[in-house]
Amino acid sequence: MKKIYIILNLLLITFSPISVFCQQIPENIKSELADLEKQITQNRNQGNKQSELEYLNKAAFLCWNNQLFANAITYFETALEINKSLKNTNGLLLTYNYLGMIYNETEKYQKALENFKAGLVISRNSGNKPNIISGLINIAQTYQLEKNYDESNKSSQEGISVSKEQNDIKSLRTFYGIIAENYQKMGNSEKSIEYFDLFASLDKYLKNEEIKGIKQQSESEVNKAQQEKNKTEKELLIQTGKLKVTEDSLAVVEELSREQKMQLELKESQIKAQEAQLKFERLLRNILIYGIVAILIVATLLLFLYRKIKSQKMEIENQRDKLDLQNKKINSSIQYAQNIQHAILPLEKQIGNYFEHFIIYKPKDIVSGDFYWFTEIDNRVYLASVDCTGHGVPGAFMSMIGNRLLNEIVIEKEITDPAKILAVLNAKIIEALRQNETENADGMDVCLICFEDIRKKNKVIFTGAKRPLIVLRKESSVIEEIKGDRLAIGGSKNENREKDFTNNHIDLKDGDMLFLSSDGLTDQNNPERKRYGSQRLNDLIIQSRNEPLNKQKELIEADLAIFQQDEEQRDDITLIGIKIKY
């Protein structure tokens, strides 16, 4: 009987819907996932639902983090059934929300809405207003992704009402931002601006309140420390005055004693020696007592000062720890932004499907104002290197806007002409940043190439906005630098924005190489303030022309490190090299 039970368990593991053995699991998590499966099966056989639920959730998150979405959904759905049997409403709420998030990532928005709405029902039944607000945010954002802007606005308006009841300003800011973006995409600029102004005012208020709180707390601590210091100095002055009075009194007593001694010597010469001895002993005793008292007073003051200084030091260290925590939170947010920015960049294997290539991408800060962009539509392949105004967080915002607009122009609106693409991108940036109405002068420099028929690769169209294209001919080993137009994307109002961008048609042969870049590499300086320069880069490309492109990349990075030494990187660096292979 025991053997039959073991065989049935093995069959259950083999054909279970949550089994991972029939799916393509990456090698780096296969062992870990197998151990979790073992724990799930063991706890199920023992009837320990709580432990089974714990390991199901761990397995689901492991698959989710490794983009095994179908596996993660299966684990979460099994966990959902166990939570139902345990009547665990909190577990049900969390699981519905996890499933909704996964379906959003896989663009199955109706399934996402079903799960988010199921979670919202649980929150409404429990009367938990913060959870209701969170659920409405998830639903509004999902409708937005589905481009159902009316439903998104409807959920957002309900969320605004609940957020006002709770005085939840951060959630209000989120709902206003969603509605502003919805109206923008619906083409209702007036409503979009109205809600964006509400979003901006709350955002500014929250940031000002946070800064004001830190500033007031710091000023309060400094004032308190200064008051304690002044009080201690006053007490020390008082004690010093008292000691001076004591010394003066002792001097007077000593003087009187001498006069009395002289009078007694004249009147009673017989008891002169005895009285002198008594007065001398009294004087010594008084001096000793006052000396001990003075020492005790000074010691007490020093101890008091020591404790006060120690207390102030601890408070200052606590304040420093709070600032360190704030800094860690800010860095954590920027690290998360870095993950988002990396997620929008094309995978190198996409480019590798068409070209032998290398990419040097070195942000100056955690996030970058540079980005590169790649897409393929109907045998037309586009590749671009884009240098946005600034670096760090401001530059990263610009790069996100630029990436989204390029996808919209080429993929959604199906504009294929490179010069037209940059012209539309310029107009979109001016519109998005309201540069005709404000002093905003942010923009971007672009090097864009297009292969009209990637199957042939013998012709390429180049269009540049203040960035050149470098061409290295195999047969001549000479660098050709094809200048872009002296027009940036967006930027200054004084630029001639009516002028068109130019398409440059270039014939290519097998073995020719193309290089797209931002100005970060050539503008990098060394400790002597000398720029790396285009000539040094071109010479190095020619010297290494016969090397594989991955070796070329190593040589360029090594030469930059030798040149730069310990000098700080001054700008984001992007350099893309591709070799034409028929």
SS3 per residue for 171-202:
HHHHHHHHHHHHHHHHCCHHHHHHHHHHHHHH
CA-CA-CA-CA torsion sign (303, 307, 312, 318):
positive
Per the CB < 8 A criterion, the answer to whether 385 and 449 are in contact is no
- Confidence at residue 239, expressed as pLDDT on a 0 to 100 scale: 59
- Confidence at residue 222, expressed as pLDDT on a 0 to 100 scale: 45
pTM equals 0.48
Give the tokens for residue 84. 């139902």
pLDDT tens, position by position, for the chain (582 residues)? 333 333 323 333 333 333 333 457 888 888 899 999 999 999 999 999 999 999 999 999 999 999 999 999 999 999 999 999 999 999 999 999 999 999 999 999 999 999 999 999 999 999 999 999 999 999 999 999 999 999 999 999 999 999 999 999 999 999 999 999 999 999 998 998 999 888 988 888 888 877 676 556 655 654 564 566 566 556 556 655 554 644 555 454 455 456 656 665 566 666 777 777 788 888 888 898 988 999 999 998 999 899 889 888 888 888 888 888 877 776 666 676 677 777 778 888 889 899 999 999 999 988 888 999 999 998 899 999 999 987 777 878 888 999 999 999 999 999 999 999 999 999 999 888 888 888 888 899 999 999 998 888 889 999 999 999 999 998 887 899 999 999 889 876 545 456 689 999 999 999 999 999 999 999 999 999 999 999 999 999 999 999 999 999 999 999 999 999 999 999 999 999 999 987
C-alpha to C-alpha distance for 169 and 287, rounded to whole angstroms: 70
- Confidence at residue 246, expressed as pLDDT on a 0 to 100 scale: 44
Q: Which helix (H) or strand (E) holds 417?
A: none
Per the CB < 8 A criterion, the answer to whether 425 and 409 are in contact is yes
DSSP 441: -
Per the CB < 8 A criterion, the answer to whether 400 and 342 are in contact is no
Residue in this structure with the two tokens 């107009």, named with its chain if needed: 427
C-alpha to C-alpha distance for 449 and 385, rounded to whole angstroms: 9
Per the CB < 8 A criterion, the answer to whether 371 and 344 are in contact is yes
C-alpha to C-alpha distance for 132 and 155, rounded to whole angstroms: 11
Runs of H (alpha helix) within 345-371: 348-352
- Confidence at residue 417, expressed as pLDDT on a 0 to 100 scale: 95
C-alpha to C-alpha distance for 4 and 288, rounded to whole angstroms: 99
C-alpha to C-alpha distance for 84 and 171, rounded to whole angstroms: 30
Residue in this structure with the two tokens 């509004």, named with its chain if needed: 140
Q: Which helix (H) or strand (E) holds 516?
A: strand 513-517
First to last CA, the chain: 68
- Confidence at residue 4, expressed as pLDDT on a 0 to 100 scale: 31
C-alpha to C-alpha distance for 275 and 259, rounded to whole angstroms: 13
Q: Which residues sit opposite 504 in a β-bridge?
A: 462
C-alpha to C-alpha distance for 446 and 385, rounded to whole angstroms: 6
Report strand pairing: 459-465 vs 479-482. unpaired
C-alpha to C-alpha distance for 309 and 322, rounded to whole angstroms: 20
Per the CB < 8 A criterion, the answer to whether 418 and 391 are in contact is no
Computed on alpha carbons and rounded to an integer, the radius of gyration of the chain in Å comes to: 38
Which residues make Cβ contacts (< 8 Å) with residue 239, sequence separation at least 6? 297, 298, 301
CA-CA-CA-CA torsion sign (331, 332, 336, 339):
positive
Provide the CA 224 distance to its chain's centre, in angstroms.
35
